[in-house]
C-alpha cells in the first residue's frame, strides 16, 4: 500500500459560523506552582483506590492528600454568617508553597483573584511563565472536581 501524499497547497479552509453569542474567557494568570497544582488536582483520577480519594479526619477538617503534590482540606463545621469579614471557608487546596485556592459559599479565590461561583464558567487559568504542554484550565472544571469532594 502506498502512502498518500497530501499537497498542502490544495487543501481548503472551511469557515465556521457560530450562531450564538460568544464572550472571551477571563484569563487568570497564576505562578507556575499554582498552575501545576490546579492541573494535578483537576486531572487526578477519581478512583477510590487512590489515597487522595480517601480523607483523613482531623477535628473539624477532612484532609485529602496527594503525597508530594497537594492537600485538599474540607471544613465540616461551616457556620453561616452575614458578616463579610468573617465568612468561613468551605475548602482549601494547598501545597508546601502556600494556598492555591480557597472556596467559600458564594465565591472563591485562585491565588489573589476573587471569583463569584456563579461566574466560574467565564474563567480560564493559565501560567504566567512558560510551562511545557500547558493548556488553559477552565475554572468550571476545577469546581466540578471540588464538588466530587464536597457539596454545599
Q: Which three cell numbers stand for residue 20?
A: 450564538
- Tell me the pLDDT band of 87, cut-offs 50, 70 and 90: confident
- pLDDT for residue 4: 65
Q: Give Cα 70 to chain centroid, integer Å.
A: 13
Q: Tell me which DSSP letter residue 119 carries.
A: G
What integer pLDDT is reported at residue 14 of this predicted model? 87
* 47 vs 129: CA distance, rounded Å: 32
Q: Collapse the DSSP code of 20 into the 3-class scheme (helix H, G, I; strand E, B; otherwise coil) and give the result.
A: coil
- Reported as a single tens digit per residue, the pLDDT across 91-114 is 999 999 999 999 998 899 999 999
Q: Where are the domains of the chain?
A: 32-149
What gap in Å lies between CA 16 and CA 6, rounded to an integer? 23
What's the CA gap between 146 and 115, in Å, rounded? 15
10 Å CB burial of residue 126 (0-12, 13-18, 19+) is middle
pLDDT of residue 69: 96
Q: What is the pLDDT of residues 120-135, one digit of tens each?
A: 889 999 999 999 999 9
Amino acid at each position: 500500500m502506498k502512502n498518500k501524499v497530501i499537497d498542502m497547497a490544495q487543501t481548503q479552509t472551511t469557515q465556521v459560523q457560530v450562531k450564538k453569542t460568544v464572550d472571551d474567557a477571563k484569563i487568570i494568570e497564576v505562578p507556575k506552582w499554582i498552575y501545576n497544582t490546579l492541573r494535578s488536582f483537576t486531572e487526578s483520577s477519581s478512583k477510590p483506590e487512590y489515597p487522595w480519594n480517601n480523607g483523613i479526619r482531623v477535628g473539624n477538617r477532612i484532609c485529602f492528600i496527594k503525597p508530594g503534590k497537594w492537600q485538599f482540606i474540607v471544613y465540616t463545621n461551616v457556620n453561616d454568617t452575614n458578616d463579610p469579614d468573617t465568612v468561613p471557608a468551605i475548602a482549601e487546596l494547598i501545597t508546601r508553597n502556600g494556598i492555591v485556592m480557597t472556596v467559600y459559599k458564594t465565591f472563591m479565590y485562585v491565588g489573589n483573584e476573587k471569583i463569584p461561583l456563579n461566574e466560574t464558567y467565564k474563567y480560564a487559568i493559565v501560567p504566567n511563565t512558560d510551562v511545557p504542554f500547558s493548556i488553559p484550565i477552565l475554572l468550571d472544571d476545577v469546581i466540578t472536581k471540588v464538588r466530587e469532594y464536597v457539596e454545599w
